């Protein structure tokens, strides 16, 4: 356990000296800030009156879209860079398990996203104290933050799984990106053409589960979907590292 | 302690190491000599738990490298040939990270100690990316020494060190080798002679010779070789040297340079010098010619071919 923590801490610290991580954090916070301001303005400054109560749903949806691009950029170098620099030999001859290495790296990246999410907490605080009277729906807010954490955890786990298979980080980035785009937008497409098993394809789709959770509906099946994919990604990563040992 | 028996590694169709068997005891420095691609790095990678062998068994520090890999890795210090380092970290932070991965108590103190041992106390706060090749090599060595390993495995450790550093390094390894087991690979025979108690020569994945460096040289050359140079042209020098009792295989390398051999234990160099001067030559230089790895290697492979015939 301590090894996981040591690796996670090193990865987390590394993000703060990496320009890529700053760009990702900046783009996400900047863009989500604009979405938030427009959301609030369109709800409160509606000239016809009787607009909706401003909420965070748009911000949360866009967080998902941005993460499709941001997560591969955060995970692409996690393992592939170690392979390229030769430091993988160091880690694989240190007394740590392959799974500890993968989980540690994943946690490091997850903590980085959690730091961004912590900054996003300012939006519900603003809404709660300054804009919405008598205050926002607390349970909805909790559910949507849980959704964002689950999504980040899944994306990062899948990303590290793919990173472990490549020694080139650009290759790792694009394969991860296409997997996310496919799972978000394309996995449900066969459902339009076939009737039997259509539910299965719809179930595969990222967006459905994510939007359900951030919409405030917490189903066991949605949570399980993300947890399963997270475990799968970490498992693939560990297996890829083990296979590297066998060449 | 290292015990290897029948170790084999297959990469696809190529057999990188073939049925290796050898041992290294505690308090011994074992040298691994061989040309590129002989299987030195592959063997070391198996012994450090980096990858499993295709066949055979290896026990390092009392544990099996496959079934008890983590126990082996806890007890082995390893400096890979590529000297893997994080260039974006300072030497201190890097060593602290590696110490933490090994769960060392009082990691900071230990890092200071190993930096001192490799002579980099004043460079600990510098980024590894800004260090010279030789300094990086020493940071890598410091990493291998962090946890006071029972077995130290060094792959081409002196590449990139300047002559002063090589001397310090040899002393360091010999000190460590007094109590622990050291396995190191090298291209350079004289290095093996300076550091190693015993040498293994491997070629194409097989051990072709195993002995102390001195015996190896004596056995192969059948004696010691000396080169001597005189002023001006040296007509008849060959004959003059041959007259001295005990000289073997006198050859002219040049118009004024000759080489001769003599049996170990029968040092005839003073005799040869006196004779030459008496004959009126001006003796400029006389020195022992060590056999290079290439020569030993050629010798060994040739004798193998002869045996087969």
The topology (CATH level 3) of B221-293 is: Alpha-Beta Plaits (3.30.70)
Grouping H, G, I as helix, E, B as strand and the rest as coil, residue B256 is: coil
Residue of B nearest to A3 (CA): B101
Residues of B in contact with A88 (CB under 8 A): 84
**B82–chain A nearest CA distance, Å:** 7
The stretch A205-234 carries a mean pLDDT of 90
Domain limits, chain B: 2-211, 221-293
Contact criterion met (CB < 8 Å) for B52 and A2: no
The residue ranges of every structural domain in chain A are 2-246
- Per-residue pLDDT at B308 exceeds 60: no
Task: Say what the pLDDT of residue B221 is.
Answer: 60
- Element holding B21 (H helix, E strand): strand B14-24
pLDDT interval class at A215 (50, 70, 90): confident
- Nearest CB neighbour to A96, from listed B80, B82, B101: B101
Strands of B2-11's sheet in order across: B14-24, B2-11, B55-60, B63-64
In this prediction, residue B85 carries a pLDDT of 94
Predicted pLDDT of residue A50 = 58
- Give the pLDDT of residue B304: 59
Residue B269 has a pLDDT of 86
Query: Which residue, among A10, A21, A94, would best test binding to B if mutated, counting the most B CBs under 10 Å from its CB?
Result: A94
Task: Work out the average pLDDT over A53-67.
Answer: 85
pLDDT digits (tens, 9 = 90+) for A182-209: 888 887 777 777 777 777 777 888 888 8
> Are B50 and A90 an interchain contact pair (Cβ–Cβ within 8 Å)?
no
Residue A172 reports pLDDT greater than 90:
yes
Look at B80 and A89 and tell me if their CB atoms are within 8 Å. Answer: yes
How do residues B2-51 score in pLDDT, each as one tens digit? 999 999 999 888 899 999 999 999 999 999 988 778 889 999 999 999 99
Q: State whether B97 and A88 contact (CB < 8 Å).
A: no
A86 vs B48, B76, B84: nearest CB: B84
Per-residue pLDDT averaged across B219-226, rounded?
69
Q: What is the mean pLDDT of residues A4-24?
A: 92
User: By the CB < 8 Å criterion, does B127 face chain A?
Assistant: no
Put simply, the chain B residues between 215 and 274 with a CB less than 8 A from any chain A CB are: none
Q: What is the mean pLDDT of residues B234-241?
A: 82
Residue pLDDT, tens place only, B114-131: 999 988 999 999 999 999
Which option is the CATH number for B2-211: 3.10.20.30, 3.40.50.300, 1.10.10.10, 1.10.10.1100? 3.40.50.300
- Over residues A110-121, the pLDDT tens digits come to 999 999 999 998
Tell me the chain A residues in contact with residue B143 when contact means C-beta distances shorter than 8 Å. Answer: 90
- Mean of pLDDT values over A83-88: 90
Q: Measured between beta carbons, which residues in chain A are less than 8 angstroms from residue B80? A: 86, 89-90, 93
Could you tell me what percentage of chain B is helix, strand and coil, using 3-state DSSP and rounding each to the nearest 5? Answer: 40, 30, 30
What own/partner pairs with CB < 8 Å and gap ≥ 24 does A170-178 have?
A170/A76, A171/A80, A172/A72, A172/A75, A172/A76, A172/A77, A172/A80, A173/A72, A173/A73, A173/A76, A174/A72, A176/A71, A176/A72, A176/A75, A176/A76, A177/A68, A177/A69, A177/A72
Facing A93 at nearest CB: one of B49, B52, B88 = B49
């Amino acid at each position: 356990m301590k090894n996981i923590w040591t690796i996670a801490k090193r990865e987390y610290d590394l993000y703060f000296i990496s320009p890529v991580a700053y760009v990702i954090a900046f783009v996400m916070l900047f863009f989500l800030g604009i979405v938030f301001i427009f959301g609030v303005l369109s709800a409160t400054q509606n000239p016809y009156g009787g607009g909706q109560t401003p909420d965070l749903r748009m911000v949360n949806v866009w967080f998902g879209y941005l993460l499709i691009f941001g997560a591969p950029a955060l995970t692409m170098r996690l393992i592939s860079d170690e392979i390229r620099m030769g430091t993988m030999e160091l880690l694989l001859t240190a007394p740590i398990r392959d799974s500890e290495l993968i989980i540690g790296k994943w946690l490091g990246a997850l903590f980085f996203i959690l730091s961004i999410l912590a900054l996003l907490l300012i939006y519900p605080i603003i809404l709660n104290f300054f804009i919405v009277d008598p205050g926002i729906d607390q349970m909805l807010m909790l559910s949507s933050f849980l959704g964002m954490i689950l999504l980040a955890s899944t994306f990062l786990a899948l990303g590290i799984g793919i990173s472990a298979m490549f020694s080139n980080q650009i290759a790792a980035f694009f394969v991860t990106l296409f997997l996310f785009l496919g799972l978000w937008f394309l996995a449900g497409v066969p459902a339009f053409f076939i009737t039997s098993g259509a539910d299965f394809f719809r179930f595969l789709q990222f967006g459905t589960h994510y939007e359900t959770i951030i919409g405030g509906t917490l189903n066991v099946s949605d949570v399980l979907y993300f947890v399963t994919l997270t475990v799968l990604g970490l498992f693939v990563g560990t297996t890829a590292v083990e296979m590297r040992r066998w060449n | 302690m290292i015990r290897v028996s029948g170790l084999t590694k297959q990469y696809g169709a190529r057999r990188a190491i073939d049925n290796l068997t050898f041992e290294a005891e505690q308090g011994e420095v074992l040298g691994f000599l061989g040309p590129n691609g002989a299987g030195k790095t592959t063997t070391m990678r198996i012994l450090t738990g980096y990858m499993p062998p295709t066949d055979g068994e290896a026990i390092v520090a009392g544990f099996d490298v496959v079934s008890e890999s983590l126990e082996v890795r806890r007890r082995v210090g390893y400096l890979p040939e590529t000297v893997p380092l994080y260039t974006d970290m300072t030497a201190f932070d890097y060593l602290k990270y590696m110490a933490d991965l090994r769960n060392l108590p009082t990691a900071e103190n230990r890092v200071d100690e190993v930096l001192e041992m490799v002579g980099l106390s004043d460079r600990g706060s510098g980024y590894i990316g800004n260090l010279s090749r030789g300094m990086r090599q020493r940071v890598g060595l410091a990493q291998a020494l962090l946890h006071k390993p029972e077995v130290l495995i060094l792959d081409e450790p002196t590449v990139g060190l300047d002559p002063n550093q090589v001397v310090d390094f040899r002393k360091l390894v010999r000190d460590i080798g007094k109590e622990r087991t050291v396995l190191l690979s090298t291209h350079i025979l004289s290095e093996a002679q300076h550091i190693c108690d015993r040498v293994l020569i491997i070629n194409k994945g097989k051990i072709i010779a195993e002995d102390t460096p001195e015996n190896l040289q004596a056995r192969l050359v059948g004696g010691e070789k000396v080169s001597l140079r005189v002023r001006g042209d040296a007509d008849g020098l060959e004959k003059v040297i041959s007259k001295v009792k005990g000289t073997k295989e006198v050859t002219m390398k040049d118009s004024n340079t000759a080489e001769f051999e003599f049996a170990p234990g029968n040092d005839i160099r003073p005799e040869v010098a006196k004779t030459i001067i008496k004959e009126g030559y001006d003796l400029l230089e006389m020195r022992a010619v060590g056999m290079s790895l290439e020569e030993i290697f050629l010798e060994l492979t040739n004798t193998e071919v002869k045996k087969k015939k």
